[in-house]
Amino acid sequence: GNVGHQLSGVSAAGTTLRSMPAGNLGLANVGNFNTGFGNVGDVNLGAANIGGHNLGLGNVGDGNLGLGNIGHGNLGFANLGLTAGAAGVGNVGFGNAGINNYGLANMGVGNIG
C-alpha cells in the first residue's frame, strides 16, 4: 500500500496505509499495478513511476511509454537505454541513447533519424 508521507518528493498526505502490495490507488503508493503519481512497482500508471511496463512521465524500468524514461524498449522523448549491445534496447523517439533506436539525434549503433 501507501508508504509514508513523502516518496520521491511527492506528498502522500491524506492516503491510507495498506498492507496489500498489489492493486493500490492513490499518490506515492508502493507495490504492483499502482495508479497515481510517484508509485514504485510494476505496471504503474502516472508520473515518475519506478518499475517495469510503466505509463507516464519520467518512468524508470522496462517497456515504459512516456517522456524521459530510463530502461529498455521505451517509447517517447529523450529515453535512455543501457549499454550498447544489451538486449531489449530499441527506443523510439527523439534523443534516445542505445542501439537500434528510431528518431533524431540518437546515440548508439544502427539508429535511424
- The answer on 32 and 71 residing in a single domain is no
pLDDT at 9: 41
- The answer on 56 and 105 residing in a single domain is yes
Which residues share a beta bridge with 45? 35, 55
The dihedrals phi and psi of 61, each to the nearest 5 degrees, come to 155, -160
Which grid coordinates are listed for 33? 499495478
The mean pLDDT value for 26-32 works out to 77
- The answer on 112 and 84 residing in a single domain is yes
- The answer on 96 and 78 residing in a single domain is yes
Residue 88 belongs to what domain range? 52-113
pLDDT value at 43 more than 50: yes
Radius of gyration in angstroms for the set of CA atoms belonging to the chain, rounded to a whole number: 15
Please name the residues in contact with 51: beta carbons below 8 A apart, sequence gap of 6 or more.
Answer: 32, 39, 40, 41, 42, 43, 44, 59, 60, 61
pTM: 0.57
- The answer on 80 and 98 residing in a single domain is yes
Q: How confident is the model at residue 22 (pLDDT cuts 50, 70, 90)?
A: low
pLDDT at 21: 55
Which grid coordinates are listed for 28? 506515492
The mean pLDDT value for 21-38 works out to 76
Residue count of the chain, please give it. Answer: 113
Residue of 16 and 90 predicted with greater confidence: 90
CA 95-98-99 angle, to 5 degrees, is 115
The mean pLDDT value for 41-50 works out to 80
- The answer on 57 and 112 residing in a single domain is yes
